[in-house]
Structure 1
């Protein structure tokens, strides 16, 4: 059986845009991906609200720096055939990073961690699929406007920069913004239809990458 790890933030966790909780399991994109791939593949969802690529954010009781927790996550779930990384939205917060180039560097750091981790029992290094999150969307919520000051424009650059990073490192790439749009309720998160769309759209790419590793 092949194993796929989805490493992400609230967009992967399934945060409902109106703030009322979490999407039903069947509506979260990793579980939609699981349904599309079938029983021959095991999809593991490892998501945390507020997670960044590689930047500290101490406004939570959880470790949000994705670079600090990725190694432990890999150690918990190996052997892995593929890791799908969709992060960067929280990097757009002005007090975290605030620019797309920083998020690109963060993604490159995560790729490096996956590639240099010493896996036990001669487990091979997993393939990597980088996913650019859907861009932020302007909403009339004063708090979000301040938190993501300048972030909307910067988030629109993520897909192009992530594509460059993926190409340079020999990773797969998918632009989730090509099939999903942030909710007008908060300008950040995804409604059920849009998160399902990501799972369906990325499935053929994941399947092709898994088949190529045979």
Structure 2
């Protein structure tokens, strides 16, 4: 029986950082793990959800303090490593609004559009499919709280309109789209990440979309 393989390319919202800590939720408690469980329950053939999620990952912008945080630089190699793929899910954008940047939703959406373009040119082996892409807009930033507050200061204001800008990218680039704001907010604890119950809500909501 064929396997249905999904690659999730994302940041700490998917990595599963526990807000205000450096701990990580278990796979079964992160939204990709919940998505895999729900797809099994829906009868999708042998679903496998692969995560490549890096804390601090931006769309197309450098982190001045940590190397290798540009999604644009890594997406082709990651796709090549895990091919063949049936679906690529991109949940990115939150880190474009860290306080060291002066970005607008247009900047972040343009960065994601570049990631989409690169993904479609990934050097996968001949005969392997170029997977469809599902863009997931992250939940809107709330007022950043706790140890992470200085890193995201002002991001809640600067990022207003991001989901709409990402929806436009999806429309213009023929990608599927899901707005996480339709099912959850950002963390009630730090205003940036996802709490455990919010991971569950997102994973369950994505399952019928992916199926």
Q: In 2, distance between residues paired with 1:80 and 1:143?
A: 35
Q: In 2, distance between residues paired with 1:183 and 1:168?
A: 30
**3-state SS of paired residue (1:7):** strand
Task: Tell me the TM-score normalised to structure 1 length.
Answer: 0.90
2:86 aligned with 1:81: yes
CA shift digits 1:167-206 (9 cap, x unpaired): 1111000011211212232111111000111111011111
Question: Which residue is equivalent to 2:173?
Answer: 169
Distance 1:24-1:125 versus aligned 2 partners, 3 A rule: same
Q: 2:95 aligns with which of 87, 90, 103?
A: 90
**3-state SS of paired residue (2:120):** helix
CA shift digits 1:143-167 (9 cap, x unpaired): 62x4334321232311101111101
Length, aligned pairs only? 205
* Contact 2:15–2:55 under 8 Å retained in 1: yes
Q: 2:49 aligns with which of 37, 43, 50?
A: 43
Q: Which is richer in helix? A: 1
Structure 2 stretches lacking a partner, 5+ long: none
CA shift digits 1:50-73 (9 cap, x unpaired): 00111111423x511110111110
Flag as ranges the 4+ runs of structure 1 deviating above 6 A.
Answer: none
